[in-house]
Amino acid sequence: MKAVLGLENGDFVVGEGFGVEGMLAGELVFTTQMTGYMEALTDPSYHGQILMFTFPLIGIYGVDRQNFQSKRIWARGCVVQEVCTSRIHHPSLEEFFGDESLLGISGVDTRRLTIAIREQGTVRAALIVGSDDHEAAVSCARRAPPISERDLIPEVSTRERIHIAGRGKRFAVIDLGIKRHMIESLKERGADIHIFPHDASHDEVASIEPEVLFVSNGPGDPRRAKHAIACVEHFIGELPIFGVCMGNQIAALALGAETRKMKFGHRGTNQPVRYIDGHIFITTQNHGFVVDHETLPEGCRITYSNVNDGTLEGFEERDLNISCVQFHPEAHGGPRDTDIHYFDEIFRRLP
**288 by DSSP, 3-state: which?**
strand
Which pLDDT belongs to residue 341?
A: 84
| Radius of gyration over every alpha carbon of the chain, rounded to an integer in angstroms | 20
SS3 content of the chain, % helix, strand, coil (to 5): 30, 35, 40
pLDDT higher than threshold 80 for residue 206: yes
Which pLDDT belongs to residue 90?
A: 83
> Which one, of 315, 317, 319, 318, lies nearest residue 327 by Cα?
315
**149 by DSSP, 3-state: which?**
helix
What kind and span of H or E run contains 314? strand 312-317
**70 by DSSP, 3-state: which?**
coil
Q: pLDDT digits over 312-339, tens only?
A: 999 999 999 999 999 999 987 666 678 8
pTM for the whole structure: 0.96
Q: pLDDT digits over 148-169, tens only?
A: 999 999 999 999 999 999 999 9
Do domains 2-144 and 153-349 share one topology? The answer is no
What kind and span of H or E run contains 42? none
Q: Is 347 exposed, middle or buried (0-12, 13-18, 19+ CB in 10 A)?
A: middle
Q: pLDDT digits over 86-122, tens only?
A: 866 788 999 999 999 999 999 999 999 999 999 999 9
> Which one, of 118, 53, 62, lies nearest residue 86 by Cα?
62
> Which one, of 286, 283, 285, 278, lies nearest residue 335 by Cα?
283
Rounded-to-integer distance, Cα 303 and Cα 274, Å: 8
**117 by DSSP, 3-state: which?**
helix
| 219 within 8 A of 157, measured Cβ to Cβ | no
pLDDT higher than threshold 80 for residue 297: yes
| 1 within 8 A of 129, measured Cβ to Cβ | yes
Rounded-to-integer distance, Cα 306 and Cα 333, Å: 18
- Report, as an integer, the average pLDDT of 265-288: 95
Residue range 153-349 forms a domain whose CATH class is alpha beta
DSSP bridge partners of 163: 194
Which is higher by pLDDT, 86 or 239? 239
Q: HSE of 214 in the Cβ direction (CA atoms, 13 Å)?
A: 26
Domain regions of the chain by residue span: 2-144, 153-349
Phi, psi of 115 (to 5 degrees): -60, -40
> Which one, of 272, 269, 243, lies nearest residue 255 by Cα?
243
pLDDT higher than threshold 80 for residue 236: yes
Q: pLDDT digits over 36-88, tens only?
A: 999 999 999 999 999 999 999 999 999 989 889 999 999 999 999 999 988 66
Positions annotated as catalytic residues are 245, 328, 330
To the nearest whole number, what is the mean pLDDT of the chain? 95
Which pLDDT belongs to residue 333?
A: 64
> Which one, of 188, 165, 183, 181, lies nearest residue 173 by Cα?
183
CATH code for the part of the protein at 2-144:
3.50.30.20
Rounded-to-integer distance, Cα 152 and Cα 26, Å: 12
